[in-house]
Copies of this chain bind each other. A is one copy, B any other.
Amino acid sequence: MTNPDSAGSDADASTPTAYDDLLERYRRATYLSDANGVLSWDQEVMMPEGGTPARSKQRGAVSAVAHDVLVDEETADALDALDGVDLTDDEAAVVREIRREHERKARVPTELVEEISTATSEAHPVWNEAKAADDFDAFAPTLAELLDLKRRYAEHIDPDADPYATLFAEYEPYLDLSTAERVLEELRDGLVPLIDAIGASDTELYALEGTFPEDDQFAVTEAALETLGYDFEHGRLDTAPHPFSTGTQFDARVTTRFDESEPLDSLASTIHEFGHATYTLGLPRDAYGSPLGEHRGLSVHESQSRLFENHVGRSKPFWELFVDRFNDHHDTELTPQQAYEAANRVYDDNLIRVEADELTYHLHIVLRFEIERELLAGDLDVEEVPAAWNDRMESYLGVRPETDAEGCLQDIHWSHGSFGYFPTYSLGSVLAAQLYAAADEAIDGLESQIAAGEFDALHEWLTENIHQHGRRYTTGDVIERATGEPLTADYFLEYAEAKFGELYDL
């Protein structure tokens, strides 16, 4: 199909074919992975419970063939043929991304991949029961085994690197672990005194009380998606046990869940997932299947969700815009200021990460990051985790969990073997603040636009600076191109101090 004569003068005659072959194989792997995304969405949202055994087999088979396509010899040959060859910038970015994925996957023996897959499947119920019984000892041997497996996994990928850095790069390929470390330290050092000051403040923010039926909450979340400009021709909203977003630039879906006493939680988490879906829908459609049509990594993804959740959905202008719709559905009579306060209350005695407010959240992350690093480095034994956890909770937040169920057993991530994932949550928040500041600089009257329900300029700015590039640039380059500087916690801390300083009269 490609005429060799049309290749550029610097390029080997075989280049176009090797490039086309490589991209075609990668596309197949992407389509297969996205097929698995649909199977997974269905499992969470639609599948009757009895379907589990068959679904596990189906997902396993699709994963296996997607993996095979990426690691097999033909992919390796195409990559070899492209080594050192002159390519356009976009082609070079495509090859860089595929090469990275191929190498990381090809270096890990299939047996180890399978061993990890089996171990994590078995770990999930063990963790679940240990948490229910508040019995860390029951989970400890499993956690030790998963740490060992993931350490071996990381060593296969890069025997010379810090295993934690290798695992972190699974989720955030192009930010150094040292950057993550610096940003998390800045966050910790800035947030601990701010949260202390809030705890010491006499100001009480407005609190929402009452019972808010699920149907009304569903209507409110749907209204919020409409208000923000969610494209229901390319997505849908459903309920699921955990809020998530999944899909492609053609079909990016959102789920939510409800607690009848916390209508602001479902709203915030739906807006969060909307941010993820908006990124996905902003990826270029004509690059579907190629790295240029895929998201840049979890930190950038999380920045899009946090930007909408916090900088839009928890802002004063948003509540000026939205409070009437909220009141209509819930039959409340909130003022914009009351809603704004209720959406921004800081709970410094909360033990649970997923229930944390915008500020204390990051100390939950810092704690996990520090413990994970020490575990992987061998500086902390599994048996010491509960004490290390509780001590840090006391030091950062001034509360000490009375049970491990409310402490180190609360999150599902470790039972998945997902070590190195947590930091991307905070990096995403920090980046959200940095991007929002840049957008605010670039867009005339952004806050008035939000209050007027005009989101086009914001969507356009995000699409132009982030979404449309897919994986064209590395994470650091994306950030610098969009904001003019490297990732920094400064904007988040400035934003937090201004917003909560005003709210709590500090």
Contacts and interface: CB of A to CB of B under 8 A. Distances in A.
Interface of A: 27-28, 31-32, 34-36, 38-39, 42, 46-55, 57-62, 64-65, 69, 231-236, 247-251, 285, 288-289
Given A55-B251, A285-B53, A289-B57, A35 B62 contact: yes
B285 A48 contact: no
Contacts of A47: 251
Contacts of A61: 27-28, 31-32, 35
A190 to B, nearest CB: 42
B288 A54 contact: yes
Nearest to A41: B42
15 contacts: A27-B57, A28-B65, A31-B57, A32-B62, A34-B58, A35-B59, A38-B42, A46-B236, A48-B232, A48-B234, A49-B233, A51-B248, A53-B285, A55-B251, A57-B288
Contact of A64 (B28, B46, B62): B28
Chain copies in complex: 2
B48 A32 contact: no
The A interface is mostly helix, strand or loop, or mixed, namely helix
A207 to B, nearest CB: 37
Contacts of A27: 57, 61
Nearest to A28: B61
A305 to B, nearest CB: 20
A52 B250 CA distance: 7
A60 B289 CA distance: 13
A54 B236 contact: no
B50 A234 contact: yes
Given A35-B39, A35-B59, A46-B46, 18 more contacts: A27-B57, A28-B65, A31-B58, A32-B61, A35-B36, A35-B58, A38-B42, A42-B46, A48-B235, A48-B236, A50-B234, A50-B250, A51-B234, A54-B248, A54-B249, A54-B288, A55-B250, A57-B288
- Chain B CB within 10 Å, residue with most, of A39, A61, A248, A249: A61
B38 A58 contact: yes
Contacts of A55: 38, 250-251
A53 B288 contact: yes
Contacts of A69: 65
Contacts of A49: 233
A461 to B, nearest CB: 23
A65 B69 CA distance: 10
A43 to B, nearest CB: 9
Contacts of A64: 28
Contact of A34 (B48, B54, B234, B249): B54
Given A32-B65, A62-B62, A289-B57, A48 B233 contact: yes
Please give me the 6 A-B residue pairs with the lowest Cβ-Cβ distance, nearest first: A51-B251, A31-B61, A50-B234, A54-B250, A35-B58, A54-B248
A410 B46 CA distance: 33
A69 B32 CA distance: 15
Nearest to A64: B28
A34 B231 CA distance: 30
A39 B251 CA distance: 13
Given A38-B38, A52-B250, A32 B58 contact: yes
Contacts of A46: 42, 46, 236
A251 to B, nearest CB: 3
A52 B249 CA distance: 11
Contacts of A32: 58, 61-62, 65
Contacts of A42: 38, 42, 46
Contacts of A233: 48-50
Contacts of A53: 250, 285, 288
Contacts of A48: 232-236, 251
A251 B54 contact: yes
A28 B61 CA distance: 6
A28 B60 CA distance: 9
Contacts of A59: 35
A24 to B, nearest CB: 11
Contacts of A31: 54, 57-58, 60-62
A70 to B, nearest CB: 13
A53 B234 CA distance: 11
